[in-house]
Amino acid sequence: MSDISQNTLVLLKPDAVQRKLCGDIIQRFERKGLLLSALKLLQLTPEMAAGHYAEHKGKPFYPALIEYITSGPVVAMVLTGSNAVKIVRTMMGATNPVDALPGTIRGDYATVMSCNIIHGSDSADSAAREIAIYFTEQEIVQYHLEDCYE
C-alpha cells in the first residue's frame, strides 16, 4: 500500500455532537497520527445531505438517513496522512454497530445502524467528491509538522 499522503472527509454525525463525543473522537485521530487539515461545525441542508448520500438515493433507508443527518449540527473535518482513507474506516468500525469491534468508534459508542456516530469516505475518489461539499480549497490547510513534533 502506498505511503503517499491522502485526505479523507470525516463527519461526526448529529448524535456525536448531541452526546458530546466530538473531542474524544478527534483525539483518537490525532493520537493515531493523522493531521487535521480542516474543521467546522455546520447544519446540513437537505440539499447538502442529498449530495453527500447520492449513492443511496432510492434505497429503503434513504429517507431516514437524510432525516437523521439533518437532525442537528455535524462536525466536518479533513484528515490527512498516509493511507488516511483506510485508517479512518478501520478506526470507525463496521457500519452496523452490532458488528463493530470494541476499540473502534462505532464499537465503543453506538448500538444501532440508524445512529452510528461517524462517517468516513470509503475511497480516495469519494473523499475528493465529499471534501468539495464541505470545504473550499482555501479552507483546507496543508502543512508539515515541525521536526520536534514528528
Binding residues for ATP: 13, 61, 89, 95, 106, 116
Based on CB atoms, which residue is closest to ligand RTP, 74 or 143? 74
| Residue from 12, 65, 84, 87 in contact with ligand RTP (CB under 6 A) | 65
Torsion of CA 43, 33, 118, 15, to 10 degrees: -70
If binding is defined by CB under 6 A, does position 8 make contact with ligand RTP?
Answer: no
- For residue 115, list its beta bridge partners: 112
Kindly state the smallest distance separating residue 61's Cβ from ligand RTP, in Å.
4
- CA angle in degrees (0–180, nearest 5) for 122-125-131: 85
Kindly state the smallest distance separating residue 150's Cβ from ligand RTP, in Å.
30
If binding is defined by CB under 6 A, does position 119 make contact with ligand RTP?
Answer: yes
Which one of 14-22, 119-127, 128-136, 139-147 is the stretch in contact with ligand RTP (CB under 6 A)? 119-127
Cell of 125: 475518489
If binding is defined by CB under 6 A, does position 120 make contact with ligand RTP?
Answer: yes
Q: Which of 88, 95, 90 lies closest to 110, judged by CA?
A: 95
CA 123 to chain centroid:
12
If binding is defined by CB under 6 A, does position 129 make contact with ligand RTP?
Answer: no
Torsion of CA 91, 92, 95, 100, to 10 degrees: 60
Could you list the residues that contact ligand RTP (CB under 6 A)?
56, 61, 65, 95, 113-114, 116, 119-120, 122
